[in-house]
Amino acid sequence: MKATFPLLGYDTYALKTFVEDLGGEVVLPPATSKKTLEAGVEASPELICMPFKITLGNFLEALDMGADTVFMAAGARKCRFGYYHYLQERALARSGRPFRLIPVSQYSPYAFLFRLMPVTFGVSPTRVIRSVAVMFYKAGLTHEFRALLNRRRALDFAGTERLKPRALELLEAARSTSEIRAARRSLRRLLGCNGSRPVLRVGLVGEIFFMIEQFANGDIEKELARLGVEVVFERSLLHHLRHLLHLDWSFYRSRRLARRYLRECPGGEALRTVGEAIHFVEHDRVDGIVHVYPFTCMPENIALEALQQLTEDTGVPVLSLSFDEHTSRTGLQTRLEAYVDMLRRRSRERSISRD
Amino acid sequence: MSEAYLGIDVGSISTKGVVIDRDAQVLASRYLRTQGSPVVAIRRLLRELGEMVGGETVISGAGTTGSARRLAGVIVQADIVKNEIIAHAVAACRFHPEARTVLEIGGQDSKIIILRDGIPVDFAMNNVCAAGTGSFLDHQATRLSIPIEDFGGLALKAKHRVNIAGRCTVFAESDMIHKAQLGIATSDIVAGLCDAIVRNYMNTVARGKEIRPPVLFQGGVAANVGVRDAFERALGQPVTVPEHFLVMGAVGAAILAMEETEGRQTRFDGFGTADIEFETRAFECDGCPNRCEVIETLRAGQVIDRYGDRCGKWSEAVVQPVR
């Protein structure tokens, strides 16, 4: 079996480690590019959200490289994401390439551990549980890597960009728990910044795919770092995995905080978006909130209204950015620059009035 | 010999330039149509501003803004290249320090800036389409063969303002034609259009923003008394149009240049730059599947700037970096 799955930014490495640990062979498509998006758009219904188009493009590219099994998350809970795999299966079949699509439900951990994975890979459930543990460990590493990278890059952009290839090598190579532990130490040495902190920090919230996949969000973390801003985030594959196993305590905190503005869950990840934003503002004392989501995303559009309330109550400005295949890089750049300039002027003013 | 600062704002429709003195008094200002070729417009602007201020004035700093700010910055060797939001906010605060809301509608974009105690604290830009911006008004004025200068005045003569769909320019135009075919007076339709533009602005750009007085209205569309009147009706409060509303972005860029060059030499090398040949060309990089379109600017045959590549392999290869 040559397995493939959607690219999820740095978290792709954690999924890859998981499948390889189970004995599967992974065929990763090339990093998402304009070509991927074009292929995905061509095979997709026009008004569907961006993540559908991008992941479909990834699958098409992976099948061209010889992949034969596609893993796609499934399970609908108040968002059409759960139905993606039905449509994608049809679109891939239309393309005439031979393949098998395995939907992985996000909401049945027991079926996943005791039936789906053992049957698919021909291994025992104990083995699957071990591999899941390794994936957890690795997802923790990619999460920490991103946090280290964001801080270090905001302080020294060019220098950190030069270190990045080496860091990515370390990240990719770590496969067992002991290797991951060693890689964590090396990464901390390589990217640590001895307690110094950038002047400006913003919290990243929104739809998870757009928060972790760099092509989708125009590598917003890099662009903000270039402007000297550290991006603080909470959600990544790590939290997603924890959430699926009902072990994610930060979710309960977010849900509690979000109740201030949203009494019901409008679907998707809206509660997390709002709750995390409140947490970043009140606990991490960030200077601003950047909110990213696909253009047609209904839950995030509702979250947007709640975030505007948050701005009104706390004075922390929110930059909401919706993305689709027509989003221009220039427009994104202008907004980010203006936003950072504004934050800088505000913080300068604050420090003057404090003196 | 007096010290002066140059500010240039190159937008999609118009190119604006000002020369200000240390007290931000406008010594010379010029408003030109960009007509699709910013390089030509910038050179003409420099030549005309140079003639207006004469040889006595020495430029001690230059700043650029607007959608072609980068290109303009490269051409005039600006000391600072800043986005439109900050430029507009800075200029608004200088002339009206009490302002708390700035509405700005330009040729192809519109924005709202919220100010508190002279600092921008929040902003928004139109992010989807250009409905309700200057170019649409321009197009409608041409279609009705009314000079754009008289367009707003006509709206004030309206007796019964009609309702025009303002969400999308295509719908707005067909709605206007439909109302005209019913025999409704042009002035009523134009007033309806002004209302539609304001409604669209309030529902998209200004959505969720708290508009507190005093309100400033700047940008090219502020010249239109009809839209200004529609804003006052919608907000239920007076809207001030600053004296230099057309060139506020450029004024802001000049003020920023003044701050930037405090205690050091300017990089601007005189209005003579207008006579140097500049060329801009684009090519597609085939280094990876992203196939980025790279734009390069040549000054007298020499590459002085490149941008548009995601990875930075072209832009970082240029020797002289732009700040």
Residues B233-289: pLDDT tens digits? Answer: 999 999 999 999 999 999 999 999 998 888 888 888 788 877 788 888 888 888 887
- CB-CB neighbors (< 8 A) of B123 in chain A: 317, 338-339, 342
- CB-CB neighbors (< 8 A) of B288 in chain A: 33
Is the minimum CB–CB distance between A308 and chain B shorter than 8 Å? Answer: yes
Is the minimum CB–CB distance between A317 and chain B shorter than 8 Å? Answer: yes
Is the minimum CB–CB distance between B286 and chain A shorter than 8 Å? Answer: no
> Closest to A305 (Cβ–Cβ): which among B208, B209, B310?
B208
Is the minimum CB–CB distance between B148 and chain A shorter than 8 Å? Answer: no
**CATH number (domain holding residue A76):** 3.40.50
Which residue shows structure tokens 């679907």? A267
Reference B211, options B227, B193, B228, B234; nearest CA is B234
Confidence of residue A230 (pLDDT cuts 50, 70, 90): very high
- pLDDT at residue B130, as a whole number: 64
The domain total for chain B is 3
Distances (CA, A) of B154 to B92, B149, B183, B239: 28, 10, 17, 19
Which of A223, A323, A341, A343 has the most B C-beta neighbours within 10 Å, making it the best mutation to test the interface with B? A341
Confidence of residue B173 (pLDDT cuts 50, 70, 90): confident
Is the minimum CB–CB distance between B85 and chain A shorter than 8 Å? Answer: yes
A117 lies in a domain?
Answer: no
Same domain, A259 and A334: yes
> Looking at B36-50, B150-164, B190-204, B299-313, which range is the least confident one?
B299-313
Same domain, A164 and A268: no
- pLDDT at residue A306, as a whole number: 93
Same domain, B259 and B290: no
Is the minimum CB–CB distance between A69 and chain B shorter than 8 Å? Answer: no
Same domain, B180 and B195: yes
Residue type, B38: P
As a whole-number percent, the residues of chain A with pLDDT over 90 amount to: 70
The domain total for chain A is 3
- CB-CB neighbors (< 8 A) of B83 in chain A: 334, 337-338, 341
Reference B19, options B256, B264, B247, B254; nearest CA is B254
Which of B310, B315, B316, B322 has the most A C-beta neighbours within 10 Å, making it the best mutation to test the interface with A? B310
Pairwise CA distance, residues A111 & A100, whole Å = 19
Q: Which residue of A has its CA nearest to B287?
A: A33
A265 lies in a domain?
Answer: yes
Is the minimum CB–CB distance between A335 and chain B shorter than 8 Å? Answer: yes
CB within 8 Å: B83 and A337: yes
* Tokens coding A108: 């049945």
CB within 8 Å: B85 and A338: yes
Q: Which residue of A has its CA nearest to B117?
A: A349
Q: Of A50, A78, A111, which closes a domain?
A: A111
- pLDDT at residue B217, as a whole number: 94
- CB-CB neighbors (< 8 A) of B117 in chain A: 349
Is the minimum CB–CB distance between B231 and chain A shorter than 8 Å? Answer: no
Q: Of A168, A197, A226, which closes a domain?
A: A197
Rounded (10°) angle between helices A50-64 and A84-94: 40
Pairwise CA distance, residues A172 & A240, whole Å = 20
pLDDT over 80 (residue B320): no
Same domain, B231 and B218: yes
Same domain, A193 and A228: no
- Please report the number of interchain residue pairs, chain A to chain B, with beta-carbon separation below 8 angstroms: 60
Same domain, A272 and A170: no
**Cβ-Cβ contacts under 8 Å for B140 (sequence gap 6 or more):** B151, B173, B176, B193
Confidence of residue A355 (pLDDT cuts 50, 70, 90): low
Same domain, B283 and B195: no
Residues A5-57: pLDDT tens digits? Answer: 999 999 999 999 999 999 999 999 999 988 899 999 999 988 888 999 999 99
Same domain, B155 and B228: yes
Same domain, B101 and B197: yes
Same domain, A185 and A230: no
Residue range(s) defining the domain that contains residue A106? 2-111
B186 lies in a domain?
Answer: yes
A116 lies in a domain?
Answer: no
8 Å CB contact between B87 and B256: yes
Helices (H), chain B: 38-53, 69-76, 84-95, 134-143, 148-156, 169-181, 186-203, 225-235, 248-260
Same domain, A55 and A132: no
8 Å CB contact between A323 and A210: yes
Question: Hey, which of A133-142, A292-301, B145-154, B190-199 has the most confident mean pLDDT?
Answer: A133-142
CB within 8 Å: A342 and B121: yes
Residue range(s) defining the domain that contains residue B259? 3-90+249-274
CB within 8 Å: B83 and A312: no
User: How far is the first Cα of chain B from the last one, in angstroms, to the nearest whole number?
Assistant: 28
A246 vs chain B: nearest CA distance in angstroms?
35
CB within 8 Å: A330 and B67: yes
Same domain, A186 and A210: no
Same domain, B235 and B156: yes
- pLDDT at residue A184, as a whole number: 95
Pairwise CA distance, residues A38 & A35, whole Å = 5
Same domain, B134 and B234: yes
Residues B189-213: pLDDT tens digits? Answer: 889 888 888 988 888 888 888 889 8
Same domain, B103 and B194: yes
B71 lies in a domain?
Answer: yes
**CATH number (domain holding residue A336):** 3.40.50.11900
* Model ipTM value: 0.82
A281 lies in a domain?
Answer: yes
**CATH number (domain holding residue B124):** 3.30.420.40
Same domain, A209 and A292: yes
B323 lies in a domain?
Answer: no
Residues B7-26: pLDDT tens digits? Answer: 999 988 889 999 999 888 89
A118 lies in a domain?
Answer: no
B236 lies in a domain?
Answer: yes
> Looking at A9-13, A154-158, A331-335, which range is the least confident one?
A331-335
Q: Of A63, A78, A111, which closes a domain?
A: A111
CB within 8 Å: A341 and B67: no
CB within 8 Å: B119 and A345: yes
- pLDDT at residue B131, as a whole number: 65
- pLDDT at residue B321, as a whole number: 44
CB within 8 Å: A342 and B123: yes
- CB-CB neighbors (< 8 A) of B120 in chain A: 342, 345-346
Same domain, B103 and B210: yes
- pLDDT at residue A232, as a whole number: 95
Same domain, A27 and A86: yes
Pairwise CA distance, residues A305 & A21, whole Å = 43
Same domain, A177 and A304: no
B322 lies in a domain?
Answer: no
B80 lies in a domain?
Answer: yes
Same domain, A226 and A334: yes
A119 lies in a domain?
Answer: no
How high is the mean pLDDT of chain A? 91
> What mean pLDDT is predicted for residues B215-232?
91
- pLDDT at residue A354, as a whole number: 63
Reference B131, options B188, B164, B172; nearest CA is B172
- CB-CB neighbors (< 8 A) of A322 in chain B: 127
Residue type, B259: E
* Tokens coding B204: 């998209």
Same domain, A210 and A231: yes
CB within 8 Å: B122 and A338: no
